[in-house]
Amino acid sequence: MSHYRASLLFVCLGNICRSPVAEALCKSFVHTHNLPVHCDSAGLHGYHSGELPDKRTLKNCQQHGLNMDGLVSRKLKRDDFYQFDYLIAMDQPVFEKLNTMVNPPELKNKIKLFRYFETNTSETCVPDPYYGTDSDFELVYQICKRVMPELNQALVK
Ligand code: 4NP
C-alpha cells in the first residue's frame, strides 16, 4: 500500500450494514477528489463472512446511486492493525473492543471513532440498523455521507 498516502479500515460488527457503506462512500469520495487513499472494511465477528452487504443496505445504496460492487464481508484480522494506518470504529462499543484487542499498545493511536470527525455533534455512534427499519438504513447513509469530507480532511495529510 506504499503508493497510498493513507489506508483506512472501517470496522463495525458484521461488516454487512455500516462499514460497507462507509467504505463505498469513502471510495467514491477519494475517487472524485483524486486522493491517494486506500479504503477497506471489516467486522469484529465473522457471522456473515463471505456474504454480500445486507439486502436493505444494498437497496438503500442503490437508491442513492452508490456502487457496492465487489464488497464482501470479512472478519477483522490481527494483521489489519499493522496493515492499515487507521482503524475507524463505527460505534463506541466497537471502538472499545478494538482498544482491548490492539497489541502492541503503541498501535492504539491508529484506532479512531468515526463520528469523532463530525463537527457539530456530540454523538459517538453510527447506530446499528440490523434490527431496524428502512429509515435506520437511511440514517446510516446520511451520517456516513456527511462525515466523509471531514474525515478525509483530518486523516489525509
Ligand atoms: P453491522 O450490522 O455491524 O453494521 O454490519 C450488524 C450486522 C449483523 C449483526 C449485527 C449488526 N448480527 O448480529 O448478525
List, as one string, the DSSP characters of 3-29: TSSEEEEEEESSSSSHHHHHHHHHHHH
What is the pLDDT averaged over residues 61-77? 98
Nearest protein CA to atom 7 of ligand 1, as residue: 14
Q: What is the pLDDT of residues 15-55, one digit of tens each?
A: 999 999 999 999 999 999 999 999 999 999 999 999 999 99
- Distance in angstroms (rounded) separating the CA atoms of residues 106 and 102: 9
Give me 116's grid cell.
469523532
Taking the centre of ligand 1 as the mean of its atom positions, its distance from the CA of residue 24, in whole angstroms, is 17
C-alpha cell at 9: 479500515
Pocket test for ligand 1, best of 10, 13, 90 (most atoms within 8 A of CB): 13
DSSP for 31-69, please give it: HHTT--EEEEEEESS-TTTTPPSPHHHHHHHHHTT---T
pLDDT at 3: 75
Question: Does the pLDDT at position 68 exceed 70?
Answer: yes
Average pLDDT over residues 135-155: 97
Grid cell of 156 as nine digits: 489525509
**Could you tell me the distance, in angstroms and rounded to a whole number, from the CA of residue 53 to the centre of ligand 1?**
10
11 CB neighbour count, 10 Å cutoff = 27
Condensed to tens digits (0 to 9), the pLDDT of residues 108-126 reads 999 999 999 999 999 999 9
Q: Are strands 37-43 and 6-12 parallel, antiparallel or unpaired?
A: parallel
57 lines ligand 1 (CB under 6 A): no
- Which residues are catalytic, by number? 12, 18, 128
Whether omega before 104 lies within 30 degrees of 0, making that bond cis, reads yes
Which triple of cell numbers denotes residue 50? 463471505
Residue 4 binned pLDDT confidence (cut-offs 50, 70, 90): confident
Q: For residue range 96-109, what is the model confidence (pLDDT) as tens digits?
A: 999 999 999 999 99
Atom of ligand 1 nearest to the CA of 20: 5
Q: Give the pLDDT of residue 92.
A: 98
Cβ of 20 below 6 Å from ligand 1: no
Coil, helix or strand for 89? strand
